Amino acid sequence: NTAHYFYNELQAAVDVPVLHMPRLAVEQIRQDYPNAKRVGIVATNGTLHDGVYDKEILDAGYELVKPTAEIQAKTMELIYDDIKGKDYVDGKLFYELVEDMVKDEKCDAVILGCTELSLAQEREPITDLPIIDSQSVLVDKTLELALKTQKNK
């Protein structure tokens, strides 16, 4: 996710297309949540600070919602203390921070903008809240393009 801060430089340096995870995640919102207006992002402090998802969300016409300090503290605890530190997903904490974005911050969709949060979604899936897992969206698009390339050979 954070590497997308350098997306333009990376794409300019290579001859093959580089998929843009934030752009793909935002496009997925249109498909999965067509009536969404407020889009939240949960991610590391660095990803939020660098605004990796901001332009894509705003350019698509959505209202960008970043986590409150309290939600961000929960997010960082889950990412660094639990997942990176202990290889453990606190399902209750994960649900709580996404639920806070939906219920308290009135998000119509929440982008998981960190690979550790994708891992949390894999291990402790949330199925009743409007989540866009950016890593899963990227993987799906990669597979789709790979299969299309194989068929064209």
| pLDDT higher than 80, residue 11 | no
Specify the pTM: 0.89
Mean pLDDT value across residues 44-70: 96
Q: Please say if the pLDDT value at position 18 is more than 90.
A: no
DSSP per position, the chain: -GGGGGHHHHHHH-SS----HHHHHHHHHHHH-TT--EEEEE--HHHHHHTTTHHHHHHTTPEEEPPPHHHHHHHHIIIIIIIIHHS---HHHHHHHHHIIIIIS--SEEEE-SHHHHHHHHHS---SS-EEEHHHHHHHHHHHHHHHHHHT-
The predicted structure's pLDDT at residue 150: 76
Report residue 142's pLDDT band, with 50, 70 and 90 as the boundaries. confident
What is the residue-averaged pLDDT of the chain? 91
- Name which of 66, 62, 36, 33 is nearest 49 in CA terms: 66
Q: In this predicted model, what pLDDT tens digit does every residue of 90-100 receive, in sequence order?
A: 999 999 999 99
For the chain, domains (ranges, CATH) are 2-151 (3.40.50.1860)
Q: For the segment 98-115, what is each residue's pLDDT rounded down to a tens digit?
A: 999 999 999 999 999 999
| 42 in Cβ contact with 110 (< 8 Å) | yes
